[in-house]
Amino acid sequence: MKEVLLLKCGEIVLKGLNRKKFEDRLLGNLKRRLKPLGDCTVSLRQSVIYVEIPETVDGDAVMEAVEKVFGIALICRAAVCEKTLEAMQETAETYLADHIARAQSFKVETKRGDKRFPMTSIQVSQHIGGELAQKYHLKPDMHHPELTIHFEIREQYAFVHAGPVQGAGGMPVGTNGRAALLLSGGIDSPVAGYMMCKRGLELIGIHFFSYPYTSDRAKEKVFELGHKLTAYCGKMPILVVPFTKIQEEIRDKCHEELFTLIMRRFMMRIAEQLAVQYECGGLITGESLGQVASQTMPAMAVTNAVCETLPVFRPVIGMDKEEIVQIARKIDTFETSILPYEDCCTVFTPKHPNTKPKMYKILEAEAALDVEGLVAEAVAGTERVMA
């Protein structure tokens, strides 16, 4: 049976004059996401986006892909049929057979876009509703029906569906610019990336890699996480930063209790330079207040102080681990994130990290290092990989 998805845009309808730009971006994102699945046609008419699915294409796969596209509030998955009462009824009976079998009560709602159709919406609903009630012993209920059968009579065809499901929400990826996600192998940073992507950001990933202290398998894990995010954010380059020398320098020349904070300041400095190079307008991290010693308020003040030009977004800052895990499961990154490979943050971790660092102590410690030189060397040695 030929199917179509009817998509209602979310927040982009609020955008006034920018609306066209938002819609074009959303159509482009949809087309790109659907292309590998076959020849679907994507078009926009009167604020509704139509995805026509030819019978040769897997409708479930199309639905699954569209459910991950930001900027879409509601999705109706409908069957397409001739504009006759018989065809519409028969299509409802076969296409919605499972829904009809499960429901006790129902109602029919008809929208008549094509005013040349010889019956009114109410007449169509009453006629087909009456037939279905009798045939399947369904109780008509206009107020709280278990099932609503929708008929939409359009120019060329009629559509039959059982109502909308939620889309991914948010804004189309790319409509708010690009940001750099500091992507570790943990649970939090992929979730942080997903959340900002939902607000219309395109992503690049930055990963700090400390070979041989962290293994190639740890790096592969990060690529896998990046790849899983592409279902939401589209293609995403990952920049792999060589971080071993910096970590060894800190270990050799700074007091152990400051190790993590000084390391994090290096991460932010390097990330900011790379982000500017790649025309990003911000940085994203998976920090959550108080989760570890380097995420107390004073520790974050010290880390944040090195970011000179770009805002740092921390979308999971106020979330409990369990809430973050829930999203990680939903976006299918959780199982990859918990694979037990080491991260560069777990190499040389101090036994007693300083949770109330003093800025002057950090600056004193950093004076023993060639900060600029080390940053420049790491930036120059960075490799780019597509997730």
**Environment class of residue 267 by beta-carbon count within 10 Å: exposed (0-12), middle (13-18) or buried (19+)?**
buried
Shortest Å, Cβ 250 to Mg ion: 17
User: With CB cut-offs between 5 and 8 Å by kind, which of ligand ATP, Mg ion, none does residue 333 bind?
Assistant: none
Shortest Å, Cβ 193 to ligand ATP: 9
Shortest Å, Cβ 286 to ligand ATP: 3
Q: Which residue is nearest to ligand ATP (CB)?
A: 186
Q: Tally the C-alpha atoms within 13 A of residue 130's C-alpha that lie toward its C-beta.
A: 6
User: With CB cut-offs between 5 and 8 Å by kind, which of Mg ion, ligand ATP, none does residue 106 bind?
Assistant: none
Closer residue to Mg ion, CB minimum distance, 110 or 184: 184
Shortest Å, Cβ 338 to Mg ion: 12
Shortest Å, Cβ 268 to ligand ATP: 9
Position 285 contacts Mg ion (CB under 5 A): no
Position 287 contacts Mg ion (CB under 5 A): no
Position 336 contacts Mg ion (CB under 5 A): no
What residues make contact with ligand ATP under the rule CB under 6 A? 182-184, 186-189, 206-208, 285-287, 291-292, 294, 343-345
Shortest Å, Cβ 259 to ligand ATP: 12
Show the 3-state SS of the chain.
CCEEEEEEECHHHHCHHHHHHHHHHHHHHHHHHHHHHCCCEEEEECCEEEEEECCCCCHHHHHHHHCCCCCEEEEEEEEEECCCHHHHHHHHHHHCHHHHHHCCEEEEEEEECCCCCCCCHHHHHHHHHHHHHHHHCCEECCCCCCEEEEEEECCCCEEEECCCEEEEECECCCCCCEEEEECCCCCHHHHHHHHHHHECCEEEEEEEECCCCCCHHHHHHHHHHHHHHHHHHCCCEEEEEECHHHHHHHHHHCCHHHHHHHHHHHHHHHHHHHHHHCCCCCEECCCCCCCCHHHCHHHHHHHHCCCCCCCEECCCCCCCHHHHHHHHHHCCCHHHHCCCCCCHHHCCCCCCCCCCCCHHHHHHHHCCCCHHHHHHHHHHCCEEEEC
Using CB under 5 A as the criterion, what x/- string covers residues 345-374 for binding Mg ion?
Answer: x-----------------------------
Position 184 contacts Mg ion (CB under 5 A): yes
Q: Which residue is nearest to Mg ion (CB)?
A: 186
Shortest Å, Cβ 88 to ligand ATP: 51
Closer residue to Mg ion, CB minimum distance, 63 or 292: 292
Closer residue to ligand ATP, CB minimum distance, 81 or 180: 180
What is the size of the binding site for Mg ion (CB under 5 A)?
Answer: 4
Shortest Å, Cβ 234 to ligand ATP: 20
Segment 15 to 74, residues that bind Mg ion, using CB under 5 A: none
- Choices 144-152, 156-164, 216-224, 341-349; region in contact with Mg ion by CB under 5 A: 341-349
Closer residue to Mg ion, CB minimum distance, 338 or 368: 338
The residues of the shown chain that bind Mg ion, judged by CB under 5 A, are 184, 186, 343, 345
